[in-house]
Structure 1
Amino acid sequence: MSGKIFTNRGVFDETYIPSTLLVRDSEANVLITRYLSRLGEGSGSTDVTVLYGSIGKVGIGKTTLAKYVSRVLSKKAEDKGINFKPVYINVYGASSLHQILSRIVSELEMNIPVRGNATIEVLKAISDFLYIKDAYALIILDEFQSLLMSSKLSDDEFYLLLRVYEEIPPKDNINRLNFMLVSQDFRILSYMKERIPQVESQIGFRVHLRPYSSDELKTIIEQRAIEGLYENSYNQDILNMIADYYGYNDIKGGEGSARKAILTLRMAAEIADAENSGRIEERHVREALSTNAVSNIPLDIIRALSLHELLILQSISNLLVAKGGWLTSGEVEDEYSHLSYAYGEEPRKHTQFYEYIKNLNNMGLIESKISGKGIRGKTTIIRLPLDIPAERLKEVLESILLDRIGGPKPEQGN
C-alpha cells in the first residue's frame, strides 16, 4: 500500500514559495518596508536594489526572498489601494534588451508591439502605461550577473534600462518603475562598477545573503515536512541529519543550501514511499545523499563564471573524459589555448590562467595540489571533485558556451 508519506508533493518543488518566510524574514521585512515607503513617497529616481550571495554558494534563498517580497508587497499594496505590479524575469539566456522588454510588456498586460520599435520608445510606452494606470512596477531580474558577463546588452542599454527616468522624465514626477537585481554572488558589484558605474554608485539597497546554518536549514525543511508529509512519516532525527549535512558555519564550512536539503528530504521520502515503508529512515536519507539522487553539478555557480573560467573548466572536463586521472597544469593550459582559439577567443596569459585556476579551486569546482611521486619536478595537478561527473559537466559547459558566445568556429582552410 502506497501513499503513506506525502500529503502534498508540491511544497518540495523548487518553484514553491512558502506562505510564511521563517528564515530571511528580517531581510524580507526590511525590503517590504523600504518598497512600501517608496510607493508612498512616489517621487525620486529609479530605485535599484541588489540581492547577492557568496561565491560558490547556491540554494541560499535569493530567488525565494525576491518572490516572497513581491507577493507580500502585492497584498499590502492592494490593502492600501495601490496598483502594484511585480514582474519576475530570469534573464539567464536572454538574447537582447528587447527580449527582456517583451517580457515586461507581456507581464504588465500591455497591448503594444515591441518588435520594430526602438528601445527608448518601448520604455516610454511602459512609463506612460504606468502613469495612465496610476500603477507601480517592481521588475525582478534574476541571474542578472549572466547579462553583465555577456556582450548581449551594451553599457548604454544597461544604463537606459536601470536609469530610465533620467532619460524619460515621468509626467507627474512620480517614480513608478523600480528594479531588484538578483545575483549569484558579490562580484556583481564589481561587474556593475566596471560596466555601468553610474548605476552601481546609486544602488539604493544591497542585501548580502549568507549560506544557511544547520539551525536555519532545520527550520526550513521542518516547515516543508509539516506542509508536505504525514506527521508520523518522519522524526526530528531525520531532519537534523539532513540539516547538519548541508548546514554552514565559519569553522567547518558547508554548502548552506536549502535547495539541496529540501531535495534530499523529498528524495528520502520518495524512496521510503516506493518501498511502502510508511516512515523515512536513516538509510533512506543516506541513499538520497548519494550522487545518483542529488545532482552535484552546481549550475548556478557555473553559469556565473566568466568566459575564460568556463573555457578552462571545459578544457579540464575534455581531458578527463579522454584520459581521466590527475591532469598537469601544463596539459590544461595547452587544451585551454586550443579551445579558446576554437571559440574565436584570445587565451589569457599564464599569470591570469593561474588566477582562474585558483578561483575555480576556491569555488569547489576543481581540486588542485602540488604533484608528488610519479611526476618529474614540481607542478600543479588538477582534477574535478569525485562527485562531479566529467561527461555530464562537459555537456553542461558546451550548452552554456553555446548560449554565451556560440559554438566553436569552423577551421579556416589553408
Structure 2
Amino acid sequence: MASIDPEVTAHVAELGDRARVASRRLALLSRADKDAALLAMADALEAAAPQVVEANAEDLDRGRATGLAEGLLDRLRLDEGRVRAVAGALRDIAGLPDPVGEVMRGSTLPNGLQIRQVRVPMGVVGMIYEARPNVTVDAAGLGLKSGNAVILRGGSAASSTNRALVAVLRETLDSQGIPADAVQLLEGGRDAVRALMTARGRVDVLIPRGGSDLIQTVVRESTVPVIETGVGNCHVYVDAAADLDKALAITLNSKVHRPSVCNAAESLLVHRAVAADFLPKALAALGGAGVRIHGDEQVRPFADAAGTAYEPATEEDWGREYLSLDLSARVVDSLDDALEHVRRYGTGHTEAIVTEDRAAARRWVAEVDAAAVMVNASTRFTDGGEFGFGAEIGISTQKLHARGPMALPELTTTKWVVEGDGQVRP
C-alpha cells in the first residue's frame, strides 16, 4: 500500500480519539436517554427535510453530469417522502429492546463463582459506503442505540446530502446532552479511506457497504477488523411444483420493486416442466416493466414471442449483480441443476424457491448456502426493516459473528463478568 498523507492520518486519528471519548459516554446511557435522542433526531430530520432535499438535488445534478448510472441515482435520491421514511426508521429503532446489558448465558460454578456473559458496545464503528444517504442515518441510529460512536465515510456522490444529514444529527445529539462526536463524517479522497482502514486501535470494527470492488478493497487492505457485507446475485427458482401465480408475483416483485438494491433478484431459474406455462406470462410481465432478459437458448423463443428485450447470456451474465432492469434467465432440468447453478454463481446473499413441494423446499433450505433463504417469498424481504430490526447497517454474507441483515445485536460484542467472594484457584 502506498504511503498516506501524514496530515490525513493525523486527522483520522483525531476523529477516532474524539469518537472513543464519545463512545465511553454512550456506553453508560440508559435506554430512555438513547430512545429520547433517537426520537428527537427523527423529528429534527423531518423538520429539516426541505434543506436535505435541496442538498440532495446538488448531488443528483452532479451525478447526472458525471454520468452516474440510473440505478445509482435511484439509490442516491431523497425526496421528502424518503426523508420521512428514514426518520421513521429511527423511531422504529427507538422502539426496539436495548441490546446492551443483555445476559447471553451464565451459571454458578461449584466453587460459588457466579459467571455471566453480557452484551456490550463495540466502541467505535467505521462505515465506508457509497451513494446511499439513508445509510448515514441508519448507521447513526443503530450506533446510538447499541452504545457505539460511528465514523461515517460516505461516497463522494452523496457528499452534499451527507453533510446536511450529519449536521442535523450532531446538532440534535448536542441538544440532548449527548456528545456530538458520537456521529462524525469523514470527508476527503482515497487517503482518508485508507487512513480509516488502518486506524487500528482507534476504530474497533469497519463495515464496508457497496459494490464488490469497494468491499474487496476494504477486506484486503484494512488492518481494522472487518465485517464483510456482500453483493447480491440473488436467484428466484421456479420449481416443477410451483404455484405459477405465486411464482409470477414473486418474480416480478423480486426484480422490479426496486432493482437498484442488493436484495433484488438478478437471475431467474425455471424448471423445464413448467417453462412453457410460466415463461410466456413472466417474460411478458417483465418486459412490460422494462426488464431486459439475458437468457439461454431455451429462453429465447419465449422472449421473442412475448416481445421482451433479449440477448444471449454470457458466462459473466450468470454471476452479475446488475442493479438495473436486467435479469439473467435459464431453464433447468431439475432441482439439482438449480442448486448447482446457485452454488456456482450465487454470492451467498438471498436465494428463493417457489414450490408447493415440501420436500423440495426442505432441500432448498438445507442445501443453499446463503445468508437468507426464501420459500414462496420475494427476495426483497431480506432487509433489516422487513425483519423487524428497525433498520440495518448492512447485510453480511460472511459466516463469522454476523450473517444476514445486521442491526443492534450485531453491533455488540460480549464481556464475561465473574463475581466471587474471595475464591482463589487451587
Q: TM-score range by the shorter chain?
A: under 0.3
TM-score normalised by length of structure 2: 0.24
- Name the structure where strand makes up a greater proportion of residues: 2
- Name the structure where helix makes up a greater proportion of residues: 1
TM-score normalised by length of structure 1: 0.24
